[in-house]
């Protein structure tokens, strides 16, 4: 993660304030869980990992919607029926994802600098054809996780 925990909470509170929302204990708990996670998590995974009662199930989705609106959290679609959530890239650091098309697992992966440069250049060239200006990119690599390959 690129921001310290104190900075992260300060930035989250500022972003929530910019959309007229408060940084409640439930929202703070979600940010803490996602900040300590090594990969994007589903809501059931967040509820399991969080201290008991820290994230009320009844408000988890509503709090996530507000955190997404404030650009603190982003929602990822996987290859299964479950959405996964992670901190916004500018808070967590730039990375990409490995998506298992068998079990749905989504893991974070840092791409080598040479690949990042090649993707950025390819995106710039493709965008230029349509008069589009690229500000960032996302890359998901789809395949089988180690557990599914072994099975």
Q: Does 26 share its domain with 82?
A: yes
pLDDT over threshold 50, residue 1: no
User: In whole angstroms, how far apart are CA 71 and each of 4, 16, 109, 115, 151?
Assistant: 17, 8, 21, 27, 38
Q: Does 98 share its domain with 117?
A: yes
Q: Does 58 share its domain with 109?
A: no
Q: Of 46, 67, 93, which residue is a domain's last?
A: 93
Kindly provide the b/e burial profile for residues 41-51, where b requires at least 16 CB atoms within 10 angstroms of the residue's own CB.
bbbebbbeebe
Check which CATH number belongs to the domain holding 71 and give it.
1.10.10.10
Q: What's the domain count of the chain?
A: 2
pLDDT over threshold 60, residue 2: no
Q: Residue 151 corresponds to which tokens in the numbers above? A: 């099975």
Q: Does 65 share its domain with 5?
A: yes
Question: pLDDT tens digits, residue range 20-69?
Answer: 999 999 999 999 999 999 999 999 999 999 999 999 999 999 999 999 99
Q: Which domain holds residue 123?
A: 94-151
Q: Does 66 share its domain with 123?
A: no
Check which CATH number belongs to the domain holding 136 and give it.
3.30.1490.190
Q: Of 71, 93, 115, which residue is a domain's last?
A: 93
Q: Does 31 share its domain with 101?
A: no
């Amino acid at each position: 993660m690129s921001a310290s925990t104190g900075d992260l909470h300060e930035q989250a509170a500022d972003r929530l304030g910019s959309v007229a929302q408060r940084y409640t204990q439930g929202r703070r708990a979600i940010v803490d869980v996602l900040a300590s996670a090594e990969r994007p998590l589903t809501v059931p995974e967040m509820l399991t990992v969080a201290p008991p009662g820290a994230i009320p199930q009844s408000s988890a989705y509503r709090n996530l919607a507000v955190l997404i609106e404030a650009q603190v959290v982003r929602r990822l679609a996987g290859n299964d029926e479950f959405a996964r959530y992670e901190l916004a890239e500018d808070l967590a650091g730039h990375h990409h994802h490995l998506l298992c098309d068998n079990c749905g697992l989504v893991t974070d992966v840092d791409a080598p600098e040479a690949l990042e440069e090649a993707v950025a250049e390819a995106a710039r060239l493709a965008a230029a054809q349509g008069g589009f200006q690229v500000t960032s990119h996302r890359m998901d690599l789809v395949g089988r996780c180690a557990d599914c390959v072994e099975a």
